[in-house]
Structure 1
């Protein structure tokens, strides 16, 4: 399975970031909706697979959930969609290379925050709540427990957890960029995403599914969601933009732009 070396991957990431920032608004809206829905499908699958597993299995339950969750990002990368957290890496790299403006980043992140949320809650309500896949029996218990574990974090805990989540998510995107074939892209995505889910880090788009799913079932409030959203968003931005985008740009692209 051939792959591009890191410097070539950095150049690709800059170009992809520039392209994403210049997508027409209609394209960003449609692909943003799909991105939120695809990640939500991954989390819905996690709930359905782990909901009946015995608590005595301990962290094995988290490992199994992490092993199925990556289908969401596989769909984003291979089927085509726009995901806020991946763009938190690619667009800052394009900005550092002076290919786009800061306002372009603000506009893109704003559109994707809204459209990823719409896609995620669409899946949470229609398939999770209406069909009962997250609102009945052990699946409800699992949904509430997972949502509660996110909401119970303090601001700083959620912020730091968000850094860890998007550091790994953007590494998954980075490795997917580097791979030259479909199998390599899937493997490159799978392991970092499995790691972030099994560890229990907080991902802003994933939370757009699991917390509203619990809210639709009568648990928690939208205020609880907003209190969680802010630190996780900020942490994800730091994890993607700084720990992946900026560090790799500094390492591989800095001299080419001077």
Structure 2
């Protein structure tokens, strides 16, 4: 499997971030909708796979859910879609390289946030609520317990959890940029995404699915969602911007990363 070294990945990420900010708004909204929907489908699959596992299996149930959740990002990277958490790494790479302005970065994040949310709500309402895939038997219990665990987390733990999540999600996208074939991209995505889900870190777009799914089931409120949204969003932003984009920009792009002439 062909792959790029990190310095080349940095250049690919910069160009990807620049391209994302140049998308026409209708295209950005459609791809953002797909991004939110695909992540939600991955989460729905994780719930359906893990909710009915015997209690005696212990943490293996969490692993089963984590093992299938990467479907969402695989669909986005290979099939096409725009995901906020991935853009929190790629667009800052272009910003730090002075290829995009701060206003274009914020414009991209704003519209991808909105369109990801619409895509996630679509899956939560129509597949989860109308079809009943998150509102029957053990699937309802799994959805509600998961959503409660997220909204019951205090601000700072949720914020730090968000950092951990998007450190790994940003790395998944970064590694996918480094693969030159579909098989390599799938493997590059699978391990970091499986890892963040198995650990239990909080992902803002995934939360846009599971918390509304619990709301549609009558178990939580939109104020619960908002209280969770703020710290997780900020944590994801720090995880992608600082722990991936800035770190690798310093290491591979900035003037300090270029060896001085002897």
**How many angstroms apart in 2 are the aligned matches of 1:54 and 1:133?**
19
Q: How does 1:37-48 map to 2 (within 5 A)?
A: 37-48=37-48
Partner SS state of residue 184, structure 1: helix
Gaps of 5+ in 2: none
> Partner of 1:65 in structure 2?
65
Partner SS state of residue 179, structure 1: coil
**How many angstroms apart in 1 are the aligned matches of 2:42 and 2:90?**
22
**How many angstroms apart in 2 are the aligned matches of 1:163 and 1:54?**
32
Paired residues of 2:250 and 2:256 also in contact (CA < 8 A):
no
> Partner of 1:150 in structure 2?
150
Paired residues of 2:250 and 2:257 also in contact (CA < 8 A):
no
> Partner of 1:99 in structure 2?
99
**How many angstroms apart in 1 are the aligned matches of 2:101 and 2:164?**
27
Paired residues of 1:97 and 1:257 also in contact (CA < 8 A):
no
Shift of 1:61: 1.1
- Asked if 1:22 is matched to 2:41, the reply is no
**How many angstroms apart in 1 are the aligned matches of 2:138 and 2:177?**
38
**How many angstroms apart in 2 are the aligned matches of 1:8 and 1:256?**
17
- Once the two structures are superposed, what CA deviation does each residue of 1:145-165 show, in whole Å capped at 9, x if it has no partner? 111111111000100000000
TM-score w.r.t. the length of structure 2 is 0.97
- Once the two structures are superposed, what CA deviation does each residue of 1:116-163 show, in whole Å capped at 9, x if it has no partner? 000001000100111110011110000001111111110001000000
Paired residues of 2:251 and 2:257 also in contact (CA < 8 A):
no
**How many angstroms apart in 1 are the aligned matches of 2:175 and 2:53?**
32
**How many angstroms apart in 2 are the aligned matches of 1:158 and 1:57?**
27
**How many angstroms apart in 2 are the aligned matches of 1:181 and 1:171?**
17
- Asked if 1:201 is matched to 2:201, the reply is yes
> Partner of 2:159 in structure 1?
159
> Partner of 1:225 in structure 2?
225
Q: How does 1:73-92 map to 2 (within 5 A)?
A: 73-92=73-92
> Partner of 2:36 in structure 1?
36
- Asked if 1:6 is matched to 2:11, the reply is no
Gaps of 5+ in 1: none
Give the 3 Å change call, closer, same or farther, for CA 257–108 of structure 1 in structure 2: farther
Aligned residues: 258
Partner SS state of residue 147, structure 1: helix
**How many angstroms apart in 1 are the aligned matches of 2:135 and 2:184?**
36
**How many angstroms apart in 2 are the aligned matches of 1:20 and 1:59?**
38
TM-score w.r.t. the length of structure 1 is 0.98
Shift of 1:92: 0.8
Deviates more, 1:53-62 or 1:73-82: 53-62
Shift of 1:55: 2.4
Partner SS state of residue 202, structure 2: coil
**How many angstroms apart in 2 are the aligned matches of 1:251 and 1:61?**
38
Partner SS state of residue 246, structure 2: helix
Paired residues of 1:169 and 1:193 also in contact (CA < 8 A):
yes
Shift of 1:256: 8.9
CA RMSD of aligned residues (A): 1.2
Partner SS state of residue 98, structure 2: coil
> Partner of 1:251 in structure 2?
251
**How many angstroms apart in 2 are the aligned matches of 1:245 and 1:153?**
27
- Once the two structures are superposed, what CA deviation does each residue of 1:167-191 show, in whole Å capped at 9, x if it has no partner? 0001000000000110000000001
Paired residues of 2:84 and 2:205 also in contact (CA < 8 A):
yes
Shift of 1:257: 10
